Amino acid sequence: MDGPCRLRPASLADLPVLVELELRSFSDPWTAAQLREALRWTGAIALVAEGADGVVGGYLLGRVVVDEAEILSIATDPRLRRTGLGRRLLREAMAIMLERGAHAAWLEVRVGNVAARAMYQCEGFVAAGLRKGYYRCPEEDAIVLRRDLTMPASPSTESS
């Protein structure tokens, strides 16, 4: 992915690249069938980050159900990690969630995923629980995080 990127809604046409990003990003990736189904859910939010060269470098999948939202999956090409791409996807998704009437966003993150946990903390997510043995391959606990979408971001997260 060269140069600046734009965020756009993902479609079923993006499914092959979403599968590839899953495979490169996670030890227990979603299957093509699972991703296809999630893209079709009522309330789905699906975004991709596409470079000027047309290459998709990351994606986010979430959903809004009534007045709450959930981040289901967020992945960036391993070569593009720590460039702010995941943060851009997350912020855009949260803005859409708020527009759709969600007052809170939830997600799970591996206990050992220190980089993701740090990003979520900077974006205002706080620990709300622990799910023992939630992840497979390898088995690991998940921290449940929550963010109040109606509260403005703190000054320290605005500049990130």
Annotation says 22 is catalytic: no
Residues 104/137, Cβ–Cβ less than 8 Å: no
For residue 112, what are the CA distances in angstroms to 62, 116, 135, 139, 155? 22, 9, 11, 11, 27
Annotation says 68 is catalytic: no
Q: What's the rounded Cα separation, in Å, for the pair 40 and 45?
A: 10
Residue among 50, 59, 70, 120 flagged as catalytic = 120
Residue among 108, 134, 139, 158 flagged as catalytic = 108
Residues 6+ apart with CB under 8 A from 124: 147, 148, 151, 153, 154, 157
Residues assigned a catalytic role? 108, 120
